[in-house]
């Protein structure tokens, strides 16, 4: 328990050896370290001083959260980082989703390793102004499962914050796991003294996702983290009509591909349809979606991003959706949201950029 670190064999939800409740709380019952923690001298965690020193060179710290997994939170974190870096900001992306680190793939950095210098751990760089840190770079095998209890996860998050040398950054984007668990409590606790700009919460339109997002909003309010806004992702499937396949169902239930015939018919009879965008509601948004929830809970609604197969492809390939015209449906929606964030919260950065 050197320097107040939580031991690896501690119980889940360990309050930490420096806590006033160390060795005394319900979570300490049966822990092999209970007696040591109860009698050890208490005091401020010296690692928090080291974290504050590291964070002193970072202007803005943004948490990206979600109530549920699979809503596109990491995709948003990746594209937000790409967009900020494209504006010539110095950007860091920290992946604290310890059990499901997808950021290395979404940034095109699979197979990269972390290097250490006399200044600390060096991030892995996509561009000279976009660095990334993730446990994904530390796994010997990408299929390796990370089976860690809360204390060990929290220890790695603390190590990322105090040992990674980012240098001067305009923005540090923190991609958190879904929910409101140990990792979320830890990142807020470790960064609170250094100042967190706020959290962006990503959801999908249906109630089963929004129920958990409400919990996420309440979590932010309880721990004092401002909600910068909510993004409704996968807000309807949108793509050019010519990107669809057209199928005809037979009486036996089998599908026959009739795409070629349909396209040929449209070319001859209705050529104006060839440039149309087709849209369909994938998730039920009859309850009002994220916009209604934001109004009810008094938090900003940032906008909607449609479910775009080309954005999914960009994430799979580890590319920015802004570099070409392929993500013609999703990229403009993301750009509007990111411009709104910068205008509302960091206008001074835009004036510096200009």
Tokens linked to 85: 């870096």
What's the structural domain count of the chain? 3
Q: Is 288 annotated as a binding residue?
A: no
Domain that holds residue 17: 12-43
Does one domain contain both 251 and 332? no
151: domain CATH number is 3.40.50.300
Tokens linked to 167: 């240098």
Q: Is 70 annotated as a binding residue?
A: yes
Residue with tokens 């309880």: 222
Q: Is 16 annotated as a binding residue?
A: no
Q: Is 67 annotated as a binding residue?
A: yes
In DSSP terms, 349 is beta-bridged to none
Q: Is 71 annotated as a binding residue?
A: yes
Identify whether the C-beta of residue 216 lies closer than 8 Å to the C-beta of residue 66. yes
Q: Is 195 annotated as a binding residue?
A: no
Tokens linked to 108: 């095109």
Does one domain contain both 75 and 150? yes
From first to last of its 354 residues, what are the pLDDT tens digits of the chain?
445 567 777 887 787 777 777 878 888 888 888 877 776 666 667 889 999 999 999 999 999 999 999 999 999 999 999 999 999 999 999 999 999 899 999 999 999 999 998 999 999 999 999 999 999 999 888 888 888 888 899 999 999 999 999 999 999 999 999 999 889 999 999 998 899 999 999 999 999 999 999 999 999 999 999 999 999 999 999 999 999 999 999 888 999 999 999 999 999 999 999 999 999 999 988 889 999 999 999 999 999 999 999 999 999 999 999 998 899 999 999 999 999 999 999 998 875 555
Tokens linked to 81: 């980082």
Residues in the chain, how many? 354
Judge whether 97 lies within some domain.
yes
- What count of other Cβ atoms lies within 10 Å of the Cβ of residue 129? 17
pTM of the model as a whole: 0.85
Does one domain contain both 129 and 274? no
Q: Is 73 annotated as a binding residue?
A: yes
Q: What's the Rg (C-alpha) of the chain?
A: 23
Judge whether 167 lies within some domain.
yes
Q: Is 238 annotated as a binding residue?
A: no
HSE, side-chain direction, 13 A CA sphere, residue 162: 16
Judge whether 192 lies within some domain.
yes
Q: Is 229 annotated as a binding residue?
A: no
Identify whether the C-beta of residue 76 lies closer than 8 Å to the C-beta of residue 233. yes
Q: Is 4 annotated as a binding residue?
A: no
Does one domain contain both 224 and 95? yes
Does one domain contain both 115 and 81? yes
Does one domain contain both 54 and 189? yes
Identify whether the C-beta of residue 217 lies closer than 8 Å to the C-beta of residue 296. no
Does one domain contain both 144 and 32? no
Q: Is 69 annotated as a binding residue?
A: yes
- What count of other Cβ atoms lies within 10 Å of the Cβ of residue 263? 16
Q: Is 37 annotated as a binding residue?
A: yes
Identify whether the C-beta of residue 106 lies closer than 8 Å to the C-beta of residue 93. no
DSSP letter for 5, please: P
């Amino acid at each position: 328990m050197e320097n107040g670190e939580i031991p690896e064999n501690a119980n889940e939800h360990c309050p930490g050896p420096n806590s006033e409740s160390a060795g005394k709380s319900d979570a300490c019952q049966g822990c092999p370290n209970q007696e040591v923690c109860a009698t050890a001298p208490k005091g401020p965690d010296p690692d928090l001083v080291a974290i504050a020193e590291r964070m002193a060179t970072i202007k803005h710290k943004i948490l990206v959260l979600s109530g549920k997994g699979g809503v596109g939170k990491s995709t948003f974190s990746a594209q937000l980082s790409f967009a900020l870096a494209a504006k010539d900001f110095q950007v860091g992306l920290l992946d604290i989703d310890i059990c499901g680190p997808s950021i290395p793939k979404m940034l095109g950095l699979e197979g990269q390793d972390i290097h250490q210098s006399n200044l600390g751990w060096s991030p892995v760089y996509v561009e000279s102004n976009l660095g990334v840190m993730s446990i994904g770079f530390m796994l010997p095998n990408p299929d390796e499962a990370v089976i860690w209890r809360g204390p060990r996860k929290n220890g790695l998050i603390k190590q990322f914050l105090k040992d990674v040398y980012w240098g001067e950054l305009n923005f540090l984007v923190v991609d958190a796991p879904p929910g409101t668990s140990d990792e979320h409590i830890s990142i807020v606790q470790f960064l609170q003294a250094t100042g967190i700009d706020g959290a962006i919460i990503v959801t999908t339109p249906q109630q089963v996702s929004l129920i958990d997002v409400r919990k996420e909003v309440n979590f932010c309010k309880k721990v004092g983290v401002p909600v910068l806004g909510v993004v409704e992702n996968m807000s309807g499937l949108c793509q050019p009509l010519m990107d669809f396949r057209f199928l005809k169902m037979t009486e036996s239930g089998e599908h026959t591909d009739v795409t070629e015939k349909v396209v040929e018919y449209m070319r001859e009879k209705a050529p104006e349809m060839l440039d149309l965008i087709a849209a369909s509601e994938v998730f039920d948004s009859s309850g009002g979606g994220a916009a209604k929830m934001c109004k009810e809970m008094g938090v900003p609604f940032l906008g909607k991003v449609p479910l775009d197969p080309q954005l999914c492809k960009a994430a799979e390939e580890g590319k920015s959706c802004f570099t070409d015209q392929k993500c013609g449906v999703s990229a403009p929606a993301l750009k509007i949201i990111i411009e709104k964030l910068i205008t509302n919260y960091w206008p001074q950065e835009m004036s510096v950029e200009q």
